Amino acid sequence: MSFFWSRSFLSSRLLLWSLFICNLFGTIYGYIWYESQLRETWVHHPKWQLVFVPDSPTASLFFTLALLFLMFPGVLGKLNFLRTLIEGLAVVTSVKYGVWAVSMIFAGAAQGGELVWQDWMLVASHMAMAVEALLFVRLFKFGTGMLLCAGAWTLLNDAVDYMFEVYPWLPQTLWDNVPEVMVFTFCLTIASVVLGWLALKGAKRTRAKF
């Protein structure tokens, strides 16, 4: 089983292309999913807040771009600063919003909400976001500095979400729990940075052995 999270398997062209295509289509679907909220934000909020609305698809976009740097290192090799920034953002946001979405779906269901097939599809896809990001840390080049930058951006996103009420629309059963959701969201961002750092340290130890 260890083969399936080995460097040779994760760096294979077949897997990279497969993940790139899946994440690209998932990103497009995610932005379509946010269409109604984006329209409402456009009408009722300052335009600069639009970038903070579609959280999960933007996280998926970061990971999709990070895969491009792995697939075409020669062509994109000179963009090292951009690469490491995107990688840091991909890890922090994919872990954070992957876990966040699953948590909100089950929290809503625990308070009486109904789970439909779209919910199970979202659970599977968002858990995959978190897992793939942590697995690919060993192939990424970002360091602690970029991880902290990604964490700072994600905390800014959290602040804008809840200060200006552009956070992702919640299940109806959670409408009375926005303060608790806000606290959970900020804590999850910090936890995602810590998980990314632990994965980064683990990857460095693994590389040092070989």
Is the confidence at residue 208, as pLDDT, over 80?
no
**pLDDT tens-digit profile of 66-84?**
999 999 987 777 889 999 9
In order, the DSSP letters of 93-119 are HHHHHHHHHHHHHHHHHHTTPPP-HHH
Residue 165, token pair as written in the block: 């009420």
Cα first-last separation, the chain: 20
What predicted TM-score, i.e. pTM, was given to this entire model? 0.93
Q: What is the pLDDT of residue 95?
A: 97
Q: Give the residue-averaged pLDDT of 129-135.
A: 95
pLDDT at res. 202: 83
- pLDDT tens, 2-50? 666 677 888 899 999 999 999 999 999 999 999 999 999 999 999 999 9
For residue 189, pLDDT beyond 60: yes
Distance, in Å, from the CA atom of 59 to the CA atom of 42, rounded to the nearest integer, reads 21
Identify the residue with better confidence: 163 or 10.
163
The arithmetic mean of pLDDT across residues 108-123, rounded, is 92
pLDDT of residue 210: 46
When the pLDDT of each residue in the chain is averaged and rounded to a whole number, the result is: 92
Residue predicted with more confidence, 163 or 114: 163
pLDDT band, residue 109 (cuts 50/70/90): very high
- Helices 144-163 and 80-110: crossing angle, nearest 10°? 50
Buried b (16+ CB within 10 A) or exposed e, 149-179: bbbebbbebbebbbeeebbbebbeebeebee
pLDDT tens digits, one per residue of 193-202 = 999 999 998 8
Residue bearing tokens 């000179």: 78
CB hemisphere CA count around 68 (13 angstroms): 16
pLDDT band for position 207 (cuts 50, 70, 90): low
